[in-house]
Structure formats: C-alpha cells, structure tokens
Amino acid sequence: VDDDEDQRRALRFLLEAAGYEVRDYPSGRDFLVNDEPSVPGCAILDLQMPEMDGLTLFTIMREREYRVPVVFLSAHGDIPSTVEAMKKGSLDFLEKPLDSQKLCQLLSDILKKDRATRNAGMEPEEAKKLFLKLSPRRQEIAKLISKGLLKRGCRTAEH
C-alpha cells in the first residue's frame, strides 16, 4: 500500500520478478475495501500517505483481526514512528530507497514463518496463553522439546 504510483509499480515489478504474487493499492482505504483478509501474505505499508497513514491503516487491520504480517516502508521514517510500528506488531521497518536483496530475504523469512504458524493451526498469542497455563516443569520440557533437545527416554540434568 503506497500512494506513490511509481514506487508501487517498481516494488510490484521487483516482487513479481522474485516469484511473488502481488496485489497493490494506492491507499489504505482501497486496501481495506478490496483486500481479502483470509488470503495469506505479507502487507507492505508506506508510512506517510494522505487520508490514512500506514500506522492508522495498521491499527485498523489489527482491530479487524487481519492476520498477515506487516512491514513498513518509508522515505521519512523517524524513531518514534518506527517504535510505534514495532509496538503494534510490525515485523520490520525499511527505509526507501530499498535494498532489494534485503527485502526479498526478509519476505522469504516472514512468509516461511507465517506459513508454519498457519499450518500449526494456532496463532502465537493463543499458543503463548496455553504455554503459560502449564506447570513450570512442563514449560521447561516444552522448551527443550521445541529446541529438539529432549528425546524420549532422556532426562534433564536435574532429574
């Protein structure tokens, strides 16, 4: 989502050349009206846009329970905006002009993690709540299992 048509076109070309399916929008309003929240992907939002800036769009997306990861792009990024974006759950904040290799690697990593989360059938927040309900000992075991350090029949150093 970027109000600058040349930026959108260039980003679309880059991402399609890298093998991604791209949907681009000239405004936050266009995105909210035409995008399909159930379609997996990654939203790349420009920070400064007329009518609705990227942070406002991101807030609305979260209120509407969009599950896609979000990355911000901006030629005018500042520390307070970056901090606010990250606090709201943005996965990264990139400055224009873009480093195309960095963006493609970032998207690859983000989409791989998102696919794994979706395939697990549970959102990270839900998993964390369930994890916190476990006893401290079971939490420790779950951490070891997630790291691949605990095999059946093996015991930790404590027991």
Question: pLDDT digits over 129-144, tens only?
Answer: 888 999 999 988 888 7
Task: Quickly list DSSP for 8-77.
Answer: HHHHHHHHHHTT------SSHHHHHHH--TTS---EEEES--SSS-HHHHHHHHHHTT--S-EEEEESS-
Half-sphere exposure of 112 (CA within 13 A, CB side): 6
Predicted local distance difference test score (pLDDT) of residue 79: 77
Q: What is the pTM of this model?
A: 0.70
**Residue 131 in 3-state DSSP?**
helix
Pick the CATH number of 5-121 from 3.40.50.180, 3.40.1550.10, 3.40.50.2300, 1.10.287.1260: 3.40.50.2300
Q: Is 50 exceeded by the pLDDT of residue 152?
A: no
List pLDDT tens digits, range 8-49. 999 999 999 989 999 999 999 999 999 988 888 899 999 889
CATH 3.40.50.2300 domain locations along the chain: 5-121
Q: Are 72 and 142 in contact (CB under 8 A)?
A: no
